[in-house]
Chain A
């Protein structure tokens, strides 16, 4: 006996759901009452900090912004790769990256448009592209994060701990994010052979590799590790939560590693005028101050009213001034990626 198939409650629920989804999409992507279209921003900077800044841009200019954020799950793959894959039919107008070398890679692939506006002008030369394909703002530093119950945050203790108590340390997998940039700087400074030997040695001695910088922060804050490499914004999350941690900048041949946010206009951008306004807004002193006052305590790169900076950011600013110029490291980064891919996913 065959039962007849009748449209039951399941189909009705499905139809309602389809209606809701279409309405939600229409509300965001459909024509706006003001007649102005929506600026599409891909944002790799963490949503908790960047959402507020983009909202302020909307309020100030009346330009509607729709943002696609990166997630830890698809970090690096998410937005840089997405822009590459969308090269035929780009939907992103402005790319706000939370690091530099991915943006430089996009420029090399011809996926960005130049713009030398007010924001570009106020940022120091080593944090911007000479032709205006991208401009840096609000940086973070690579730091040692130390559990104060186990170790004191000074160079000597950390070097000794790294030598003798390697298994009590933690780093993020170097295939991704700022740890990849860190390895790139190390390879440039030490050369390929030395970096590989060092990498093998610390892994042999049990240096703990975790998924990301936030996890490094977590394992040190909870006492699962005594020290680790992370970024200043992650270290501040632990400090704000009252964890017994401290930080110290990582120096490679005397230079710190300051990794700026970068903003760029994507080739094929449909709203060039609005995109330029956003680039200027993000690279402005106002935005840099806001990022400095946020929980991430990002370091202003251009001139700002120093007295308005929180004390801890003033300390970071001193460290960032010793930062290495990262702009010429793209080739080294590609070599590091090739080596690490063979190492982790042969």
Chain B
């Protein structure tokens, strides 16, 4: 299959999945609203490493034509839908309520009325859905590991195969430009819509309780996603877990090695996540600072920073393989060669890989109205102890928590990124996920189960503990409010 054909196929698959799974997004968003446990249950299949999912199903479907395509599409849909739900929940609400739309529909008499109705629908429900749909399309279009392991068609795997067969870096870059352009259009649409919220965001419709039947649909969806995306892949690993832990218990050296690899992967991904987050935050701060300038200067400055955004996001959109090869080539240049065998290329690669995701998350986490933040800050400075508590908690929920979760998500994405870790990490600093991939090649042994459990669960547990600690902190800081007086 040629590159244009595989590109077309990847796009068609992403569109088909959007049509199939898209209608579930508002229902699931309503079902999980304000329920942290439900959120966690929904997000889990996406956080579960696709490496394990791919390995679990590959013997049954890989190399079987349309069966592989179907399996890949379904798994991809169930895994990626939580992203769309998160995007839906964080996107600005619609300007047009459902009741307004309904009233307009009751009064359709002329062609102009019909056009007006379409216009309202575009400004309301369509605009509301586009960021979420765009992100869903982006993630499904970019899919690599699952498609490669199940041998389904994808442009990412095409590039990988071509690269292995000796395609030069320049040719690879040129081939990756068309998918990157498609992705960039997608990301621009998402950013544009989320970044310029409608004038009167109305949550009235969305705050209604979920309609009857939604719970059933949500539970069926969750159960299927968990069985296909977590339980089935985990079952094979869990079977050997007790024996594996027992086997490893008497091997301190192995534990040390595992700890080292875990720390290497985690520290690199935390650094990259923080840098990517900081860069994207700085970008938006800079954009906001132009508001005080005269219009002509403002336009010029905004154009300049928009170009900077393109530069920041494009490398990450090329896919991790191309990105890794580019970074490698740059650090082979004489001027940068002394930095080649250091963690720097890995950090640069990871940061660029995470940058487009950080930009998106930055937009979403800034969605809270500034007035709410200001009120929460005022509340935190109150003389009343109970109000200070409430203010601190509100501020954490509005400002701190979304940012913490965004960086945690970026970190986990970076931690699971295999190609960059494999090609760019300095010699001797191996990431846990690379080791896991190496060992999975030999089938499912009990020691592998234990190692997989440690390498995948410890970071999640660590982040959860940190989250709990940070949640607890604002509730116990009345003194900080007092000192502010």
Q: Which residues of A contact B (CB under 8 A)?
A: 1-3, 5, 8-11, 13-14, 16-18, 20-22, 24-25, 28-29, 38, 40, 46-48, 66-69, 71-78, 81-82, 85-86, 88-89, 91, 170, 175-176, 208-212, 214-215, 217-219, 222, 224, 237-238, 241, 337, 340-341, 344-346
Contact = CB atoms under 8 A, between A and B. Distances in A.
19 contacts: A1-B373, A2-B288, A3-B370, A11-B278, A13-B407, A14-B270, A17-B271, A20-B267, A24-B260, A25-B342, A68-B427, A71-B418, A77-B163, A86-B332, A215-B59, A340-B165, A341-B165, A345-B158, A346-B2
4 nearest CB pairs, A to B = A14-B274, A28-B428, A17-B270, A66-B428
Interface residues of B, number: 78
Contact of A28 (B64, B273, B429): B429
A186 B260 CA distance: 45
Interface stretch (B209-217, B384-392, B438-446): B438-446
Contacts of B26: none
Contacts of A81: 164
A18 B325 CA distance: 23
B148 A211 contact: yes
A296 to B, nearest CB: 9
Contact of A218 (B266, B267, B443): B443
B62 interface: yes
Nearest to A40: B427
A72 B149 CA distance: 11
A10 B404 contact: yes
Given A46-B442, A175-B165, A73 B429 contact: no
Q: Is the interface of B mostly helix, strand, loop or mixed?
A: helix
Contacts of A16: 270
Given A24-B263, A46-B441, 12 more contacts: A1-B370, A3-B399, A11-B274, A17-B274, A85-B329, A85-B332, A175-B165, A211-B62, A211-B151, A215-B62, A344-B165, A345-B167
B434 to A, nearest CB: 6
Contacts of A222: 59-60
Contacts of B58: 210-211, 215, 218
Contacts of B437: 71-73
B438 A72 contact: yes
Nearest to B158: A345
Contact of B270 (A13, A25, A74, A345): A13
B376 to A, nearest CB: 11
A210 B151 contact: yes
Given A76-B164, A175-B165, A341-B162, A18 B407 contact: no
B88 interface: no
Contacts of A3: 370, 373, 399
A47 B270 contact: no
Given A20-B263, A20-B267, A88-B332, A210 B62 contact: yes
A47 B466 CA distance: 34
B337 to A, nearest CB: 4
Contacts of A68: 427, 430
B422 A78 contact: yes
B439 A10 contact: no
B343 A9 contact: no
Contacts of B278: 11, 14
Contact of A21 (B267, B427, B430, B466): B267
Interface in B1-52: 1-3
Interface string B126-164: 000000000000000000010011010000001011111
A24 B267 contact: yes
B274 A21 contact: no
B274 A13 contact: yes
A73 B419 contact: yes
